[in-house]
A and B are shown apart, each in its own frame.
Chain A
Amino acid sequence: MTLLYALIALGLLALIFGLILGFAAVRFRVEGNPVVEQIDTILPQTQCGQCGYPGCRPYAEAIANGDEINKCPPGGDATVKKLADLMGVEAKPLAGGEQADPVKTVAYIREDECIGCTKCIQACPVDAIVGATRQMHTVLIDECTGCDLCVEPCPVDCIDMLPVAPTKQTWKWQLDAIPVTQID
């Protein structure tokens, strides 16, 4: 008899917990893969496509599905390191022998050479180029991610990728540099 009670009690408990779990599974279901979000926040969002995927998020999804983590040249080694920490894999040097510490660039349109074809506007992944047909185009440097995607479509090659000039706010002491002084 006691055996029966024990069985009934256990069975009821199992049923109750099962219901709770089942409810929780439906109620608190996580949409999508959360790791993709985390990877996406680490990626530099230049949307440059140098990884072979059309944008940062597709690459984040690819990494979540087991792709290599070293395909992001704009992110440099810092991004690879962060991704390695997140994914629990070994950090490796960037694929294709890219620079470990990429130089930040922004696109610059030589405006007197621009013919106003709008091809770069269509290529820009972040809508950082303004202009109209047969009107001069220009780049919003604050929004430009330096992805290079506008350089190729330009029929007159009037787009340069210029390194971002240091300002007083971004200037850093060169700790291991030999001091250079100007002698008057």
Chain B
Amino acid sequence: MEKLLEQIKKGTVWAFPGGVHPPQQKSLSNSAPIARLPLPEKLVLPLKQHIGASGKLIVEKNQHVLKGQALTKPSANWSVPIHAPTSGTIIDITPMPSAHPSALPELSIIIEPDGNDTWCELSPVTNPATASHDELVDVIHNAGISGMGGAGFPTYVKADIKQPIEFLIVNAVECEPYITADDTLMREHAAEIVKGIELMQQLLNPTLCIIGIEDNKPEAITAMTEAAKHNEHILIQTVPTVYPSGGEKQLIKLLTNREVPNGGIPADIGILVHNTGTLYAIAQAVYEGKPLIERVVTVTGNTIHNPGNVWALLGTEIKHLLDYQGFSPVPQQRVVMGGPMMGFTLPTVRIGVVKTTNCILAPDHNELAEPGPEKACIRCSACADACPASLLPQQLQWFAKSKEYDKLQEHNLFDCIECGACAYVCPSEIPLVQYYRVAKVEIKEQIAEKIKSDRAKERFDARKARLEQEQAERKNRHKRKPAAKTADEQQKVADALARVKDKAGNSDNKSAVAAAIARAKAKKQGGELEPDNSEVAKERAARKEQARLYKEQKAQNNGDDEPVDNKKSAVAAAIARAKAKKAAQANEQAPSDDTVSESPVAANDKKAAVAAAIARAKAKKAAQANEQAQSDDTVSESPVAANDKKAAVAAAIARAKAKKAAQANEQAQSDDTESESPAPAADDKKAAVAAAIARAKAKKAAQASEQAPSDDTVSESPVTTDDKKTAVAVAIARAKAKKAAQASELAQQNENAEPQGNDESSEGSQQTAQEKKKAAVAAAIARAKAKKQQKEGNDQS
């Protein structure tokens, strides 16, 4: 290693393979000093002028900006800001043609200069020698500096590199014909460039800094030697004039005899390369506080009267540059951005100067002829001799034409620096580099597509797995429910009965609490979607009430005959039925809306009424929640005109029942059962209980008949008899008959069994009422039952 350093210090320059010697044409533009142009009429600044992400826009339309004011803020990785090149107003922020062979539109800020050229407040680093590493990197980052040699790599990334750097190479070669921007910059601003070099030395601490300059720039070499003589760590190396000695990899080979590995970067071998223009911009940013808002651009070519270098504000339209240098276009004039070897013909001259624009070439037809028609490859291998990367351009060309991308990669297409030497020497005028460029894009696209398809597959698989899991869950729920029902239903009913009965023996408060618990349980069961929880709940209930199970089951079985004098048993029956229904609903897999029906558990006082009210409200809410898009909500509100409370209540119950049944049958487009049963203002317990029973029954009937596409022609006339018993009986009987009719309509509906079973229990509970009225009710029920059975028989037969 020591030997290499010695060799370098001795002035040894190695050689890279290949290379060509195109006509220099530099004397056209390198004699005059760098000129300053008057302000252009407008500046078009693309947000992204470098490799990486664009910054975040921090200005808006019609805002006035000062010279040097930041227009974007760096956001993501590798994003650098842009700044206003002069003071003026932002007249638009819109996509404009970009400085790219495709001229694809890119979001740009258009500034109209106000002519004052007022600087914003500048904050140079007061003492750069003592400034910290991070501070300097931040200054470089915020000044918006990116590589000005051509690629536009963000400079702050290079300045903050983590690998140890042995050699800092300054690329002052400028090997491409015509271009003299770096040459004149070195002549005029050598001291600033050296300052920039010293800043980079401070940041990276390399062993040696080598400035590589081609031997066709003697003035620049003199100026740089003079400026750098105080710094013994700066070595100026003169390299022979060969194209493309200014290529990063080629220059590294020339100056250090090292080669950048395939797919690697120079930092991997301890080398960093900076362009002179970039170093000048760094010095400006640190010592003056000026962000990167202008650069030297060579405007040259035979159609330009005063070819030379100009300080062009970023965003200046190419047309402006050409006009001020005296431009007399020839027919079919071409304007090239960059040099004749690597530049590209601009589709329009209305494109702004960007950070990487080093030359505008406007040649006439003699100096840069239009490429002729492509002829057949004669396998002369001149391209292989000229290739500075030791590739096989001819082979690559065949593979590119036949789209054999695997072979292209095998032949290291991505080591091609697109210098154009092969195309320059090709006697058949084959645009070899274009073939490689297309092939590179194709390969990159394929890689991107591969990544995308892998991700799509991943997402597809994940989705499939998720759907399968959901299906399995649904199936399990379906399987578990019926089993649970058969096993536990009876027991649960018994439990409920037992609890309420037990409570009845105690105080009213307790029974209310029990009722609440029962309701909560019923609700939980009804709204339950998770099979596990219901299972657990059932088990718990079973365990809790195991002791009383036997007795209560017996009581329930014999309910019809046993004359129980406790009114509470009716309540219990109601609860039990409600619960059973909940279970049935939970089991329903159809997309039926689960109306949360609450059977109010009435104690023997006003609480019953309250409970009834709550239940109604709840039922309504549930119905509303289930409203489908185009449903019409039919709210049934029947005025009660009875003088007797009970009669009124009964009538109301009957009507509500009928209504609900009717609505449920509408099914197809409106399955919302908005049930608003008239509020029984009764303080009588029995009324409340009866109401609860009636409602629960109606609900059940509705659910059972939900699938039947029956016609809804149920009309109920309010009962206004003064005899309570008959009224109640009649109402119940009618409702039941209706229900039965609907239930029987669906032959395959197995839910028929459940309502029937529940009817039994409800009847039982009604019969258990000790009072005289109850007996009448029971009679009515019996009648209704008989009727129902008869009807069922009729329908089935």
Instruction: Write the residues of chain A forming the contact surface with B, with a CB cutoff of 8 angstroms.
Output: 40, 43-47, 55-56, 125-128, 143, 145, 166-173, 175, 179-182, 184
* Residues of chain A contacted by B434 (CB below 8 angstroms): 173, 175
* Residues of chain A contacted by B101 (CB below 8 angstroms): 171, 173
B523 part of interface (Cβ distance < 8 Å): no
State whether B449 touches A168 (Cβ < 8 A): no
State whether B347 touches A182 (Cβ < 8 A): yes
* Segment from B165-173, B278-286, B288-296, B435-443 that makes contact with A: B435-443
State whether B441 touches A126 (Cβ < 8 A): no
**Extra A-B contacts (8), CB below 8 Å, given A126-B460, A169-B441:** A125-B463, A126-B456, A127-B459, A143-B455, A168-B100, A172-B438, A173-B101, A181-B345
Instruction: Write the residues of chain B forming the contact surface with A, with a CB cutoff of 8 angstroms.
Output: 98, 100-102, 104, 106, 319, 345, 347-350, 431, 434-435, 437-438, 441-442, 444-445, 449, 452-457, 459-460, 462-464
Q: How many Å from the CB of B351 to the closest CB on chain A?
A: 10
How many angstroms between the C-alpha atoms of A171 and B440 in the bound complex? 11
State whether A184 touches B319 (Cβ < 8 A): yes
Q: How many Å from the CB of A14 to the closest CB on chain B?
A: 44
Contact A46 B98, CB 8 Å, known A171-B104, A175-B438: no
State whether A168 touches B104 (Cβ < 8 A): yes
Q: Looking at B444, B453, B455, which has the most chain A CB atoms within 10 Å of its CB? A: B453
How many angstroms between the C-alpha atoms of A175 and B348 in the bound complex? 19
Consensus secondary structure, chain A interface: loop
Q: How many Å from the CB of A168 to the closest CB on chain B?
A: 5
* Residues of chain B contacted by A45 (CB below 8 angstroms): 453-454, 456-457, 460
Which residue of B is nearest A173, CB measured? B434
Contact A47 B456, CB 8 Å, known A166-B104, A167-B104: yes
Q: How many Å from the CB of B373 to the closest CB on chain A?
A: 11
State whether A125 touches B460 (Cβ < 8 A): yes
Q: List 14 A-B contacts (CB under 8 A).
A: A43-B453, A44-B453, A46-B456, A47-B456, A47-B460, A126-B459, A127-B463, A145-B452, A167-B104, A168-B98, A175-B434, A179-B345, A181-B348, A184-B348
* Residues of chain A contacted by B460 (CB below 8 angstroms): 45, 47, 55-56, 125-126
Q: How many Å from the CB of A41 to the closest CB on chain B?
A: 8
Q: How many Å from the CB of B418 to the closest CB on chain A?
A: 11
How many angstroms between the C-alpha atoms of A172 and B348 in the bound complex? 18
State whether A173 touches B437 (Cβ < 8 A): yes
Which residue of A is nearest B403, CB measured? A78
Which residue of B is nearest A44, CB measured? B453
State whether A170 touches B319 (Cβ < 8 A): no
State whether A175 touches B435 (Cβ < 8 A): yes
Q: How many Å from the CB of A145 to the closest CB on chain B?
A: 5
How many angstroms between the C-alpha atoms of A166 and B347 in the bound complex? 17
Contact of A184 among B98, B349, B441, B454 (CB under 8 A): B349
State whether B350 touches A184 (Cβ < 8 A): yes
How many angstroms between the C-alpha atoms of A182 and B332 in the bound complex? 11
How many angstroms between the C-alpha atoms of A40 and B461 in the bound complex? 13
Q: How many Å from the CB of B449 to the closest CB on chain A?
A: 7
Contact of A170 among B431, B445, B456 (CB under 8 A): B445
Contact A173 B456, CB 8 Å, known A181-B347, A184-B319: no
State whether A172 touches B431 (Cβ < 8 A): no
Contact of B444 among A40, A145, A169 (CB under 8 A): A169
Q: How many Å from the CB of A26 to the closest CB on chain B?
A: 29
* Residues of chain A contacted by B457 (CB below 8 angstroms): 40, 45, 56
Contact of A173 among B98, B319, B438, B444 (CB under 8 A): B438
Which residue of B is nearest A42, CB measured? B453
* Residues of chain A contacted by B442 (CB below 8 angstroms): 172
How many angstroms between the C-alpha atoms of A46 and B349 in the bound complex? 42
Q: How many Å from the CB of A113 to the closest CB on chain B?
A: 17
State whether B347 touches A171 (Cβ < 8 A): no
* Residues of chain B contacted by A128 (CB below 8 angstroms): 459
Q: Looking at B98, B101, B449, B452, which has the most chain A CB atoms within 10 Å of its CB? A: B452
How many angstroms between the C-alpha atoms of A172 and B434 in the bound complex? 9
Q: How many Å from the CB of A31 to the closest CB on chain B?
A: 16
How many angstroms between the C-alpha atoms of A47 and B101 in the bound complex? 36
State whether B438 touches A145 (Cβ < 8 A): no
Q: How many Å from the CB of B51 to the closest CB on chain A?
A: 11
State whether B431 touches A175 (Cβ < 8 A): yes
Which residue of B is nearest A166, CB measured? B104
How many angstroms between the C-alpha atoms of A145 and B459 in the bound complex? 11
Q: How many Å from the CB of B561 to the closest CB on chain A?
A: 53
How many angstroms between the C-alpha atoms of A126 and B454 in the bound complex? 11
State whether A143 touches B456 (Cβ < 8 A): yes
Which residue of B is nearest A174, CB measured? B438
Which residue of A is nearest B48, CB measured? A168
* Residues of chain B contacted by A143 (CB below 8 angstroms): 455-456, 459
State whether A126 touches B98 (Cβ < 8 A): no
Q: Looking at A43, A167, A175, which has the most chain B CB atoms within 10 Å of its CB? A: A175
CB-CB nearest 7 A-B residue pairs: A45-B453, A126-B459, A45-B456, A171-B102, A182-B348, A45-B457, A47-B460
* Residues of chain B contacted by A169 (CB below 8 angstroms): 441, 444
How many angstroms between the C-alpha atoms of A125 and B464 in the bound complex? 8
Q: How many Å from the CB of B231 to the closest CB on chain A?
A: 40
How many angstroms between the C-alpha atoms of A69 and B15 in the bound complex? 52
* Residues of chain B contacted by A167 (CB below 8 angstroms): 104
* Residues of chain A contacted by B98 (CB below 8 angstroms): 168
* Residues of chain A contacted by B454 (CB below 8 angstroms): 45
Q: Looking at A45, A46, A172, A175, which has the most chain B CB atoms within 10 Å of its CB? A: A45
How many angstroms between the C-alpha atoms of A166 and B453 in the bound complex? 19
* Residues of chain B contacted by A127 (CB below 8 angstroms): 459, 462-463
Q: How many Å from the CB of B347 to the closest CB on chain A?
A: 6
Q: How many Å from the CB of B170 to the closest CB on chain A?
A: 29
Which residue of B is nearest A184, CB measured? B349
* Residues of chain A contacted by B449 (CB below 8 angstroms): 44
* Residues of chain A contacted by B319 (CB below 8 angstroms): 184
* Residues of chain A contacted by B441 (CB below 8 angstroms): 169-172
Q: How many Å from the CB of B672 to the closest CB on chain A?
A: 17
* Residues of chain B contacted by A46 (CB below 8 angstroms): 453, 456
Q: How many Å from the CB of B105 to the closest CB on chain A?
A: 10
Q: How many Å from the CB of B209 to the closest CB on chain A?
A: 34
Which residue of A is nearest B100, CB measured? A168
Q: How many Å from the CB of B249 to the closest CB on chain A?
A: 22
* Residues of chain A contacted by B431 (CB below 8 angstroms): 175
* Residues of chain B contacted by A56 (CB below 8 angstroms): 457, 460
* Residues of chain A contacted by B463 (CB below 8 angstroms): 125-127
* Residues of chain A contacted by B349 (CB below 8 angstroms): 184
How many angstroms between the C-alpha atoms of A181 and B345 in the bound complex? 9
Which residue of A is nearest B463, CB measured? A127
* Residues of chain A contacted by B456 (CB below 8 angstroms): 45-47, 126, 143, 145
* Residues of chain A contacted by B100 (CB below 8 angstroms): 168, 171
* Residues of chain B contacted by A173 (CB below 8 angstroms): 101, 434, 437-438
How many angstroms between the C-alpha atoms of A172 and B437 in the bound complex? 8
How many angstroms between the C-alpha atoms of A43 and B435 in the bound complex? 27
Which residue of A is nearest B400, CB measured? A175
How many angstroms between the C-alpha atoms of A89 and B349 in the bound complex? 53
Which residue of B is nearest A43, CB measured? B453
* Residues of chain B contacted by A43 (CB below 8 angstroms): 453
How many angstroms between the C-alpha atoms of A164 and B784 in the bound complex? 71
Q: How many Å from the CB of B348 to the closest CB on chain A?
A: 4
* Residues of chain B contacted by A126 (CB below 8 angstroms): 456, 459-460, 463
How many angstroms between the C-alpha atoms of A88 and B462 in the bound complex? 32
* Residues of chain A contacted by B437 (CB below 8 angstroms): 172-173
How many angstroms between the C-alpha atoms of A163 and B339 in the bound complex? 35
* Residues of chain A contacted by B459 (CB below 8 angstroms): 126-128, 143
How many angstroms between the C-alpha atoms of A125 and B457 in the bound complex? 9
How many angstroms between the C-alpha atoms of A128 and B460 in the bound complex? 10
Which residue of B is nearest A104, CB measured? B449
How many angstroms between the C-alpha atoms of A125 and B459 in the bound complex? 8
Q: How many Å from the CB of B286 to the closest CB on chain A?
A: 31
Q: How many Å from the CB of B599 to the closest CB on chain A?
A: 32
* Residues of chain A contacted by B444 (CB below 8 angstroms): 169
How many angstroms between the C-alpha atoms of A45 and B106 in the bound complex? 31
How many angstroms between the C-alpha atoms of A182 and B345 in the bound complex? 11
